[in-house]
A and B are shown apart, each in its own frame.
Chain A
Amino acid sequence: MTLVLTLKVTPPQRLDLSVLLPHLLADKSSKDVAAIDLATTREKITVGDLFRIRAGSAEEIRFEGGSERFDGVGQGLQQGRIFVAGDAGINAGRQMTGGDLVISGNVGPYAGSAMTGGRLEILGNAGDFLGAPREGELNGMSGGLLVLRGAAGRRAGDRLRRGTILIEGDAGDWLGSRLIAGTLIVLGRVGVSPGYLMRRGTIVLAKPPALASTFVDCGQFASSFPAVFGRFLLPESRGAARLFRAPLRKFAGDMAVLGKGEIFVPA
């Protein structure tokens, strides 16, 4: 049985939910869980103050109701499953290494920031810096799968190093900025300068804007790679699978830096 946490009141302050992970709650009783402090200010606020708890195996945690103040949901997730029926704040799924995190609403900035494994799915929209590194970190997302059904803010996939980000909606300016490697797919419209200063890696755009002059046209692309990748993506997104089935044209860049990256657009 799933551990269910039903939101009773609007959170009076921003919360740190990174302490509510399956591996941290494995041996805890409902009473222990209720006593966990979620405060980010000097005002103490516990799980019991905010949520009605239905006991169950912490292998799957379900939040009934969310809030823009739910920070750090699934941050550091290692295994198991977390589902949020509602919105979440900053750092959702940040640094997760495994497991499955699904958020039905919108999330703030830095969702999936520096994640290295597992699967993060957001049904709503995301703020800026999807999958990006936080201050002082060298790498953004470096493994796993991030699926965003809605739209992303600016600089989604900043310093992506490995793994796959799939955005079904639109994406803001400077998509995939400073990309190191990995794969970034956008089915919707994209703001200015996608792949700004990307070194390696792959960006696939269904509706590309004008690319910067530091991207060079490599012509029609012939490889088994899109077909293989499209088949992998089919269970996640029919739209992405369709995009990979169509003929693609390759642009290489960003020639302002290493230039071994690629942006694929429909041919």
Chain B
Amino acid sequence: MKYSIFPISLLLLLCSLATLPAEAASARGSKKKKNEVTAPSPKPLSDYEKLFSGKKCTSREGLLTLHDVEGKLFVEMPLSLMDRDVMIGSTISAVTDNRIVSVGEKPKAPMVVTFCLDGKKVNMCRKRFDLLARGDEFERSLVRNTLLGIISSFDIKAYSPDSTAVVLDMTDMFLGNNIAELNPMPASNPASNTQINTQFKRDLSLLGDIKAFEDNVSVRSRLSFTVTMRDNAKRSVIMADSPFTVEVTRSIVLLPEKPVMPRLADPRIGVFFTKKSVFGDSSEGVKSVFYAQRWRLEPSDSAAYAAGEVVEPVKPIVFYIDDTFPEFWKPYVAEGVERWNEAFEKIGFRNAVRALPYPSDDESFDPDNIKYNCVRYSPSEVANSMGPSWTDPRTGEIISASVYIYHNIVKLLSSWLFIQTAPADPSVRTVNIPREILGEGIAYVVAHEVGHCLGLMHNMAGSSSIPVDSLRSASFTAKYGTTYSIMDYARFNYVARESDKGVRLMPPSIGEYDFYAIDWLYRPVAGASTPEEETPVLRRFISERSGNPVYRYGKQQVVAKIDPSSFEEDLGDDPVKSALYGIENLKYIAANIDSWVGGEDPDYSFRLRMKNELVTQYQRYVTRALYNIGGIYLNERFEGDERESYAPVSGADQRRTVNFLLEQTKSLDWIDRMAGAGWPLTSPVAPTMGTALFKTIVQRCGSLWYCTPLMGEDAYGQKDFLKDISTFVWKPSREGKRLSEIEMELQSQFISYLMTNSYTPANTPQQMPPQKRFADESEVWGFGQFAGMQGALPATRHICFSFLQDSLNLLKRFAQSSSDADSRAHYRMLAARIEQHLK
């Protein structure tokens, strides 16, 4: 952006004409004074006039009146705004290097402040919105104990001529770097795993455009830094003390004077929430309540709505589509936004969500103003998208939301489409995925992010109740797509085979669960005037559907992974079955990729990339299945709900999973065969992957301990597990076969595991508090994240010891009976290791 002096000069002229008539008159008068001794003395300038007198000034009138006076920002703040709640948010408008922050991003959550008149100054204060009190006395106590925290204090430079406003010098706030919420620079970038150190350069920072409107103002600042960026993984320096400038637009928006009625969130449905602590409710202490985050959506015609008609909302949720998007993306982006209207129409709102281009005829429009919801495009290497929103901390009402689409999302989509759907869809067997298909992928991504903007969290169980074979059915997928929730990370249909004609390969526009979630979140509850009055209706709404797996909500398991049905990147109700289909499809790709793309990929770069993608996809399949071992399905359950709080994966399924995975460890050669004649030299991955997979399988032994006691007759315990592994690894030896390298390695790994787990040097048992549990309840259910379990170690050592002894006997026998010299040497080596261990 250019900072032209011309407009400032022009405005200065206007400003001078407007504000300085007295001065001009006075100046003219002074000439007369030389000759007229008796002339009255000139009227002294008011404090207000002194601020602008003789200086270049640009002014904007609106919610606040802003004056840019030679690079200083004077804000004329009406006294009527004192003590009102105001949201201040930042948006990146331009940037030196988008690896650090991208245009359109809101780098920090906005802050909500209150301006308070305090004698000769105005304090910008921080309120606590996370506390509520019930009852006057508790309220009084809370007020005394939540004195407004002062963030900044501004001296009153002057009163406006009509004394209805005060003038504050807020230059330092907009050109400083002392307020954490206004700092546009992140300390790290998790996506690129980089650490960012910045040093602010005040002398190189200056004020940009100022804008003021009836209900908001915005101030653009050009802030300069020096930046050092380190790659955490490579431990290398990407940039060192590099000059870096960011233009950031700060918007100041008044929060609604009348807060919307909050809706109490429910942990059984995936909705973002705002937490509050309530005092004074009872002798049961401080209670936590959670407000669902949602837009204020009210019918434009209440009577018609109550009569069951579909009506427009008073204020639709409008997303403006970035005008810098590639042209061919734009219709798909708009489609992704407006897909949600189907869900809103089911609850009586027409055109609740709208996608509009940037208006060309509205001067007040600014995509960087927090007032506007935008879908932003970032010309970035980042292969991601996001859908953050900003809420009124009093009520959870969503005030603003944005979708960020980074350019390389197309790379991600192309890879997924090729790796996951090429077997079933010949049209994607190409380096350049057809635009209409890619466009549909873009629409899917946008719809998912808009779902977040509407208040929905991920539902990782969205796809888990669909029978895997139904994913191969044209009629089923036509109706339901591949998942019941677009808020799942259920990608494209990797189960469908080439023979499955007409099967839908993409998630639905909106899933059944999504309809249900929007219904719960946005349908007005007739007659309710408080959140508590709504609650019975809303709880019943969920309870009545608690027996139907379509409406099951599965939390994203960020830290510990317990529930095998609540995973990213999975499909269907049976991870083994879906993995088998998926692997067959990957094999099909591996066998045919040369014929599909050979002509388009002369340097093999696409195929090499797809080989990596294929390995990654394969790992997804086996990892999802892996968590069946010791897996426990977890549900949020309220009293009276049909589904149980938890259920272990059945013993039969666990055994089936173990055997499937063990077979995989020796069945990976096809991946290496993919790089056929003519390909650049690539390292074989099958032996490494097979060994790594085997180690991972064996390590699941510990998790069985949590699961087995919960199982019934068909309990699959650690002993059964080790027996299955033992049978598998010794099978070729029992059959007298010559061992392959991978078979030797697996036997060796098994012996290592048994030795490690069958003897611990003498020590003193770990003392733990008696009540130390497996898990903290707040981390298991409710609104918290599941964070893992810890506790007593099970008695497995004797089991491992027993298998070790059995293994020794077997090895001695094999060393005698094997006809292959290499195998005999291998058996003797393993036997010697065990004997040394047992000595």
Please determine whether chains A and B interact with each other in the same assembly.
no
> Which residues from chain B sit less than 8 Å from chain A, CB to CB?
none
> Which residues from chain A sit less than 8 Å from chain B, CB to CB?
none
